[in-house]
């Protein structure tokens, strides 16, 4: 089963082009993790550069990511993880977090140096940011705003092409961590312009963000089984798939999608860095506008076999059991038909579990669709009732290992304290060290001179002294309960390293 759940939201003025924030529900989509073919995000968005005119060539580059499970997730559980998901031109590289990007070949970084750690209180594992195990329906607040941490440059990697100073910074709002975490280095986006100067100034390092973004849930693979009975009728069974259920019986999955202009935060930080008084860090409501939901929505989920041509993939009759709703103007969710959807209360929390069994039929117009049926209505000879979607036995995941060459940027100038270990709930062990902020590997690979890195160091120290992890930054939600980041990833700087130093993961491996 694969496809999209579509979330229409009303447009806001194009002047709100300095980032966004939103709250999305985090929950265990599947009853059991079905192995590493499983790939799906939960609800998320795609933030592209804003243009005055539509480009005449393909310039796919954005910040996407979000909560979910991916084929390259190595330490997966039923609880989703979060990745940053920055994409360089046409997927030439991508960056998922500090030390995490396309592939694992450090000789071809392809984005693994694209994100710099900013917070001294949150450790980012290369496999993704863990939520507390058992999270079920709580709201994960996140967004990206441009901070002027660097200065715009007229040259890039020695070539006469510019790089902007938009440091798109991830802000979180959770129960146990609030504030900025990490940022995309401008060079991550502008690097491709060194070889193609005609592209200078068209990516997110320079351009503002388009405020009217797509909002969807993208599912690439949920396991299922197809079978045909003695009459030639085709049936399917899908791995148990659930949504979080509120006491009212419905699901609230997206809340308070907000777009910003530079008055929200960037202008105050820029004035601070220019010698003014410290910026408080909280978003100024005067620089924000919320998207509203009309209560409509669509679904393109389809069930199909591995060799089924795209044009022959048949949709699920989603509207037979799910109705998109807006419980209030700034919240989107679903109302379920509980004659077909099952209410379940587990140790993880309340869930609405979708129909598992489907029959391939033609509707009155002759169009094929998969309609939900009860287990007792599936012919026994199909064997679908006996199918198990339990977690398969898989090889022990390979560890993430950073370069150990004594001459590498990981060793010169290298860390100032460590090693330390963190034990998140996914069964891994994360080894990390403390680096001086400006000496972390990502910034040594960000096309910055020593002088530029020292200026960046000074600005990071200002943030560390003034912006703590327990104060308000993003506007709080008006409903629900905030999610919790895995407590093992909330760290305390060693004595003497409280300001100007950050934790950097160098290894993540299965616990022995």
Q: Would you list the DSSP string of 311-334?
A: GGPEEB-GGGTEEEEEEETTEEEE
Distances (CA, A) of 402 to 40, 148, 172: 27, 29, 26
Contact 431, 402 (CB under 8 A): no
Find the distance separating the first CA and the last CA of the chain, reported in whole Å.
35
Are residues 258 and 244 both part of a single domain?
no
Domain extent, residue 357, equals 221-252+302-386
Are residues 82 and 199 both part of a single domain?
yes
Whole-prediction pTM? 0.97
Q: What is the pLDDT of residue 393?
A: 87
Beta-carbon contacts of 299 under 8 Å, excluding residues fewer than 6 positions away, are: 3, 4, 5, 6, 315, 316, 318, 319, 322
In a domain, 342, yes or no: yes
**Residue 347, pLDDT above cutoff 90:** no
Task: Choose the final residue of a domain: 329, 364, 386.
Answer: 386
Alpha-carbon torsion (443, 447, 449, 453), positive or negative: negative
In a domain, 419, yes or no: yes
In a domain, 5, yes or no: no
Are residues 63 and 162 both part of a single domain?
yes
Question: Could you tell me the pLDDT band of residue 72, with boundaries at 50, 70 and 90?
Answer: very high
Question: Could you tell me the pLDDT band of residue 395, with boundaries at 50, 70 and 90?
Answer: confident
Q: What is the pLDDT of residue 409?
A: 97
In a domain, 184, yes or no: yes
Taking only the tens place, the pLDDT of each residue in 446-456 is 999 999 999 99
Task: Choose the final residue of a domain: 335, 364, 386.
Answer: 386
Q: Which residue has the tokens 């975490």?
A: 181
Alpha-carbon torsion (132, 134, 138, 143), positive or negative: positive
HSE-CB at 503 with a 13 A cutoff on CA atoms is 27
Are residues 208 and 161 both part of a single domain?
yes
Q: What is the pLDDT of residue 248?
A: 93
In a domain, 7, yes or no: no
Taking only the tens place, the pLDDT of each residue in 178-231 is 999 999 999 999 999 999 999 999 999 999 999 999 999 999 999 999 999 999
Q: What is the pLDDT of residue 104?
A: 82
Are residues 472 and 489 both part of a single domain?
yes
**Residue 509, pLDDT above cutoff 80:** yes
Are residues 314 and 287 both part of a single domain?
no
Are residues 469 and 355 both part of a single domain?
no
Task: Provide the pairing of β-strand 62-63 with 234-238.
Answer: unpaired
Task: Choose the final residue of a domain: 354, 386, 418.
Answer: 386
Are residues 265 and 370 both part of a single domain?
no
Integer Rg of the chain from CA: 24
Q: What is the DSSP letter of 483?
A: -
Question: Could you tell me the pLDDT band of residue 138, with boundaries at 50, 70 and 90?
Answer: very high
Q: What is the pLDDT of residue 201?
A: 95
Question: Could you tell me the pLDDT band of residue 349, with boundaries at 50, 70 and 90?
Answer: confident
Gap between the Cα atoms of 390 and 170, Å rounded: 35
Are residues 270 and 343 both part of a single domain?
no
Q: What is the pLDDT of residue 263?
A: 98
Q: What is the pLDDT of residue 482?
A: 98
In a domain, 392, yes or no: no
Are residues 60 and 146 both part of a single domain?
yes
Q: What is the pLDDT of residue 459?
A: 98
Contact 466, 500 (CB under 8 A): no
Collapsing DSSP to helix, strand or coil, 454 comes out as helix
In a domain, 307, yes or no: yes
Distances (CA, A) of 386 to 54, 129, 152, 355, 383: 53, 36, 61, 16, 6
Gap between the Cα atoms of 273 and 335, Å rounded: 48
Taking only the tens place, the pLDDT of each residue in 104-130 is 889 999 999 999 999 999 999 999 999
Are residues 267 and 194 both part of a single domain?
yes
Tokens of 356: 């598992």
Instruction: State how many domains the chain has.
Output: 2
Q: Is the peptide bond before 269 cis (omega within 30 degrees of 0)?
A: no
**Residue 322, pLDDT above cutoff 80:** yes
Instruction: Kindly state the average pLDDT of the residues 159-163.
Output: 97
Instruction: Kindly state the average pLDDT of the residues 325-352.
Output: 94
Gap between the Cα atoms of 148 and 146, Å rounded: 7
Q: Which of 208, 196, 45, 184 is nearest to 111 (CA)?
A: 184
- The per-residue pLDDT of the chain, averaged, comes to 96
Q: What is the pLDDT of residue 212?
A: 98
Contact 384, 235 (CB under 8 A): yes
Are residues 186 and 95 both part of a single domain?
yes
Instruction: Kindly state the average pLDDT of the residues 133-159.
Output: 97
In a domain, 12, yes or no: no
């Amino acid at each position: 089963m694969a496809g999209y759940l579509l979330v229409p939201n009303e447009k806001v003025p194009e002047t709100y082009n300095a980032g966004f924030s939103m709250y999305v529900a985090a929950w265990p989509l599947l009853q059991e993790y079905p192995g590493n073919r499983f790939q799906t995000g939960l609800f998320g968005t795609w933030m592209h550069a804003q243009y005055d005119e539509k480009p005449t060539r393909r310039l796919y580059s954005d910040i996407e990511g979000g909560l979910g499970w991916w084929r390259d997730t190595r330490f997966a559980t039923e609880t989703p993880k979060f990745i940053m998901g920055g994409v360089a031109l046409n997927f030439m590289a991508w960056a998922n977090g500090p030390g995490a990007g396309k592939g694992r070949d450090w000789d071809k970084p392809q984005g693994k140096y694209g994100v710099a750690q900013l917070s001294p209180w949150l450790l980012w594992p290369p496999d993704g940011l863990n939520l507390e195990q058992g999270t079920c329906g709580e709201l994960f607040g996140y967004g990206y705003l441009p901070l002027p941490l660097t200065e715009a440059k007229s040259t890039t990697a020695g070539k006469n092409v510019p790089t902007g100073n938009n440091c798109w910074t991830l802000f979180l709002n959770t129960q146990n961590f609030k504030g900025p975490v990490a940022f995309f280095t401008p060079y991550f986006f502008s690097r491709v312009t060194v070889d193609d100067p005609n592209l200078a100034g068209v990516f997110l390092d320079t351009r503002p963000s388009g405020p009217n973004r797509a909002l969807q849930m993208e599912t690439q693979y949920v396991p299922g089984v197809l079978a045909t009975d003695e009459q030639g009728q085709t049936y399917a069974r899908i791995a148990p798939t659930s949504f979080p259920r509120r006491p009212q019986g419905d699901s609230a999955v997206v809340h308070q999608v907000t777009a910003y202009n530079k008055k929200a935060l960037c202008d105050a930080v820029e004035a601070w860095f220019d010698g003014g008084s410290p910026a408080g860090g909280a978003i100024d409501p005067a620089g924000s506008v919320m998207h509203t939901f009309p209560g409509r929505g669509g679904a393109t989920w389809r069930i199909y076999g591995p060799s089924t041509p795209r044009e022959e993939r048949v949709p699920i009759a989603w509207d037979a059991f799910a109705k998109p709703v807006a419980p209030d103007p700034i919240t989107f969710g679903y109302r379920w038909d509980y004659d077909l959807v099952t209410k379940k209360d587990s140790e993880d929390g309340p869930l609405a579990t979708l129909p598992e069994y489907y029959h391939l039929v033609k509707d009155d117009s002759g169009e094929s669709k998969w309609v939900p049926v009860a287990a007792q209505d599936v012919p026994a000879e199909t064997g679908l009732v006996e199918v198990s979607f339990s977690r398969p036995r898989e090889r022990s995941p390979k560890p993430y290992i950073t370069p150990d060459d004594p001459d590498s940027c990981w060793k010169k100038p290298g860390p100032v304290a460590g090693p330390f270990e963190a034990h998140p709930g996914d069964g891994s062990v994360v080894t990390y060290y403390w680096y001086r902020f400006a000496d972390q590997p990502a910034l040594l690979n960000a096309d910055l001179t020593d002088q530029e890195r020292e200026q960046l160091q000074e600005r990071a120290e200002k943030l560390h002294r003034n912006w703590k992890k327990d104060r308000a930054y993003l506007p709080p939600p008006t409903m629900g309960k905030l999610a919790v980041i895995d407590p093992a990833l909330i760290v305390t700087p060693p004595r003497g390293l409280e300001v100007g130093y950050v934790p950097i993961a160098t290894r993540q491996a299965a616990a022995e």
